């Protein structure tokens, strides 16, 4: 209502004789020019009304826009405070969780959290923050020169799972594994399981007996002077071929066989 009354007031002002006398010096409003007087008055009224409407529209838009900007600014400030609370925890929370908020601690895997040293400020020493827990707590096994959890730890875990399965396996694999791990029985038997093979070695007296002995060892998958296997052909993978290679107990050089020296 206020804006409408203001527009009416402006229009009323344009229609007064005082306003007409104000513009007589410019020749736009005079008693002797009726047509021009009416045309000029209409033009002035239209221009004045347009100005009033423009001001009214601007007054409506400015508060709305500023309100949206204010709302957006408040939302940004809230997000900023939330991010600061996560990445820069308060002193009370630091006393319990160090330089790692409880939100991040719950989000990371436990292995990752255990490898961190949250007492160290990551902005001061990021390496110590990221790896300090691992360096301080990791134990290198006595049989290893180094230990990497990514590889050695996984290998150890897989081996533990495999051993657990083999201990309960009723098949050939389980029996073979348990026979190798039964150290009490191995110690009790001593060298007696090797006696048949030792007799074959003792029976070698010439080339013919050597030939027979090598055949017996090869059939039992004991590779002495050579080893053999069947695999895909090197030039044509659609067929299989027989391969023969030097065995594992040969001397490192032919001179050991041909030269008689100390």
**pLDDT per position in the chain (262 positions), as tens?**
444 454 455 455 545 554 454 444 444 444 444 444 445 666 667 667 777 666 765 555 554 444 555 566 667 666 655 555 544 444 444 444 578 888 777 888 888 888 888 888 989 899 999 888 888 888 888 888 888 877 888 888 899 999 999 998 889 999 999 988 888 999 999 989 999 999 999 999 999 999 999 889 888 888 778 888 899 998 999 999 999 887 666 677 778 878 887 6
Q: Rounded CA gap, 97 and 87, in Å?
A: 12
Answer yes or no: is 144 within a domain.
no
Answer yes or no: is 49 within a domain.
yes
69 and 32 assigned to the same domain: yes
Residues 11, 50 contacting (CB under 8 angstroms): no
34 and 79 assigned to the same domain: yes
Give how many domains the chain has, as a whole number.
3
Length of the chain: 262
Last residue of a domain, one of 86, 107, 124: 86
Q: Rounded CA gap, 55 and 78, in Å?
A: 35
Answer yes or no: is 68 within a domain.
yes
82 and 12 assigned to the same domain: yes
Q: Rounded CA gap, 225 and 173, in Å?
A: 28
0.85 exceeded by the pTM?
no
Q: Rounded CA gap, 132 and 125, in Å?
A: 10
The continuous run of DSSP H or E covering 3 comes out as helix 2-14
73 and 11 assigned to the same domain: yes
15 and 79 assigned to the same domain: yes
63 and 126 assigned to the same domain: no
Answer yes or no: is 56 within a domain.
yes
Answer yes or no: is 192 within a domain.
no
25 and 71 assigned to the same domain: yes
DSSP string, 96-142: HH-SS-HHHHHHS-HHHHHH--TTS-TTT-HHHHHHHHHHHH----T
Give the residue numbers spanning the domain of 75: 2-86
Q: Rounded CA gap, 215 and 221, in Å?
A: 10
Answer yes or no: is 64 within a domain.
yes
């Amino acid at each position: 209502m206020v804006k409408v009354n203001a527009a009416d007031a402006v229009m009323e002002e344009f229609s007064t004789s005082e306003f007409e006398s104000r513009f007589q010096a410019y020749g736009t409003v005079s008693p002797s020019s009726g047509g021009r007087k009416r045309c000029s008055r209409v033009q002035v009224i239209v221009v004045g009304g347009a100005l009033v409407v423009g001001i009214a529209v601007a007054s409506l838009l400015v508060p709305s826009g500023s309100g949206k900007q204010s709302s957006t600014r408040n939302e940004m400030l809230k997000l900023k405070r939330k991010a600061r609370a996560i990445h820069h925890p308060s002193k009370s929370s630091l006393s319990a969780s160090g330089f790692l908020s409880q939100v991040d601690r719950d989000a990371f895997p436990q292995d990752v959290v255990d490898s961190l040293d949250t007492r160290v400020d990551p902005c001061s020493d990021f390496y110590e923050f990221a790896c300090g827990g691992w360096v301080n707590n990791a134990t290198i096994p006595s049989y290893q020169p180094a230990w990497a959890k990514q590889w050695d730890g996984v290998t150890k875990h897989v081996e533990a799972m495999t051993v657990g399965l083999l201990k309960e396996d009723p098949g050939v694999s389980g029996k073979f594994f348990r026979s190798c791990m039964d150290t009490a029985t191995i110690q009790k038997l001593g060298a007696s399981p090797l006696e048949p093979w030792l007799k074959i070695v003792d029976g070698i007296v010439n080339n013919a007996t050597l030939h027979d002995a090598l055949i017996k060892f090869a059939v039992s998958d004991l590779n002495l002077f050579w080893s053999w296997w069947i695999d895909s052909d090197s030039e044509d993978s659609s067929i299989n071929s027989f391969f023969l290679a030097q065995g594992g107990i040969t001397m490192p050089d032919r001179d050991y066989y041909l030269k008689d020296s100390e």
